[in-house]
Amino acid sequence: MGLLASLKTMLGAAPERPASYTPAAEAMHEAKRQVKGPERARQIRAAHAGTHSNKWRNIRWATLIFLNMVFVLSFQFDVQLVEGSLTASRVIGFHMADLYSAIQVMLAYKVILINLVIGTGTVFFLWWLFGGRTFCSWACPYHLLAEIAEKIHLMLAARRMVVDYPLHRGTRSVLYVIFGLLAVVSGYTVYESISPTGIVSRALIYGPGLAMVWVLGLLVYEVVFIRRMWCRYICPIGLTYGLVGAVSPMRVKYNLENCLHEGDCRKVCLVPHVLEVTKKTYAPDVDVAIGADCTRCGLCIDACPTGSLRFEVKGLNKLL
């Protein structure tokens, strides 16, 4: 996916079928058009035989829990190697600050603080290196809770007890600007007061407060009404890291050749619009990097029966 198309999709535009294809991709698409229904069904059944795993999900959950427990244990045992929370912290003397939180502070107080510059620079490089929205699925404690809530929602939806009412994905882009304007006008970091990421992180470290009632309310709403509402349609943190991740060397790569287009990857994806490229005739090239809004969660890699999706470090794989 091209950078411009990737950014447009992240900001809320609908994914589009490409207007042109590379010769190699066009040849593969044409070959797949010749495969008849019964043969395609046989291929899909054969490819699904014992292929699904939870490898990347398990690694990711373990990493997320470990990162958050480092903050908790450091505070509880007064180690002082890691101080603060995921919103703003100091790790072995190095300042670190969430990018959107830092933007909120600068907009609210109309001043550029050197510690924030240092902190955002460190975090920017870190998450650019690992892949922008990696923060969402590999570090954010609310993300894990929302992922569990999503599983409950899907279970209830399968029994027709709840129905999903999705919002337009462009809602997040509009709210991104609104939260920024509120900070400028009010002189207060409005978003930080309602951010479930900061609330859950601080609750784990210092103990829960009344703000956790808001977080629990969000989770219940996501279970009953709008699947993954906060992460998909509201959170400006995810959008900020998506912009960083647009040029990250770490990415998920899609290979067209063996893909059977059965859609298992899109069913488990936390942001399924990024995997539109896996639909028939949607891949403009044989190899396509998944878009900027990808959280690098690895669920699609676990689910893919043909190994058509994998992690890649840009430029490095050619040397291995």
Counting the structural domains of the chain, the total is: 2
Same domain (yes/no): 67, 184: yes
Q: Rounded CA gap, 268 and 316, in Å? A: 28
Q: Rounded CA gap, 206 and 7, in Å? A: 37
Over pLDDT 90: what percentage of the chain? 62
Over residues 132-161, mean pLDDT: 94
**Would you state the pLDDT for residue 1?**
61
Over residues 232-242, mean pLDDT: 93
Which pLDDT band holds residue 320 (cuts at 50, 70, 90)? Answer: very low
Tell me the pTM. Answer: 0.90
Which of 111-115, 217-221, 241-245 shows the lowest mean pLDDT across its residues? 111-115
266, pLDDT greater than 60: yes
Which pLDDT band holds residue 319 (cuts at 50, 70, 90)? Answer: very low
Same domain (yes/no): 68, 178: yes
Q: Rounded CA gap, 115 and 306, in Å? A: 47
Which pLDDT band holds residue 36 (cuts at 50, 70, 90)? Answer: confident
Same domain (yes/no): 116, 253: no
Same domain (yes/no): 124, 180: yes
Same domain (yes/no): 236, 281: no
Same domain (yes/no): 120, 230: yes
Same domain (yes/no): 225, 305: no
Among 243, 264, 290, give the residue marking a domain's end.
Answer: 243
Which of 40-44, 155-159, 228-232, 296-300 shows the lowest mean pLDDT across its residues? 40-44
Model confidence over 19-34: pLDDT tens digits?
Answer: 899 999 999 999 888 8
SS3 255: strand
Over residues 256-263, mean pLDDT: 90
Q: Rounded CA gap, 241 and 88, in Å? A: 15
Same domain (yes/no): 90, 199: yes
Same domain (yes/no): 168, 123: yes
Over residues 229-238, mean pLDDT: 94
**Would you state the pLDDT for residue 317?**
61
**Would you state the pLDDT for residue 153?**
97
Among 243, 270, 295, give the residue marking a domain's end.
Answer: 243
Model confidence over 80-104: pLDDT tens digits?
Answer: 788 888 888 888 877 888 889 889 9
Which pLDDT band holds residue 40 (cuts at 50, 70, 90)? Answer: confident
- The gap between the terminal CA atoms of the chain, to the nearest Å, is 24
Burial classification of residue 239, based on how many CB atoms lie within 10 Å of its CB (0-12 exposed, 13-18 middle, 19 or more buried): buried
Over pLDDT 70: what percentage of the chain? 98
**Would you state the pLDDT for residue 43?**
79
Among 243, 263, 293, give the residue marking a domain's end.
Answer: 243
Tell me the residue type at 271: V
Same domain (yes/no): 94, 238: yes
Over residues 193-210, mean pLDDT: 94
318, pLDDT greater than 60: no
Q: Rounded CA gap, 291 and 8, in Å? A: 10
Same domain (yes/no): 275, 223: no
Same domain (yes/no): 105, 39: no
The 3-state secondary structure of 66-129 reads HHHHHHHHHHHCCCCCEEECCCEEEECCEEEECHHHHHHHHHHHCCCCHHHHHHHHHHHHHHHH
Find the domain containing 165 and state its range: 57-243
Per-state percent for the chain, helix, strand, coil, to nearest 5: 60, 10, 35
Q: Rounded CA gap, 287 and 132, in Å? A: 20
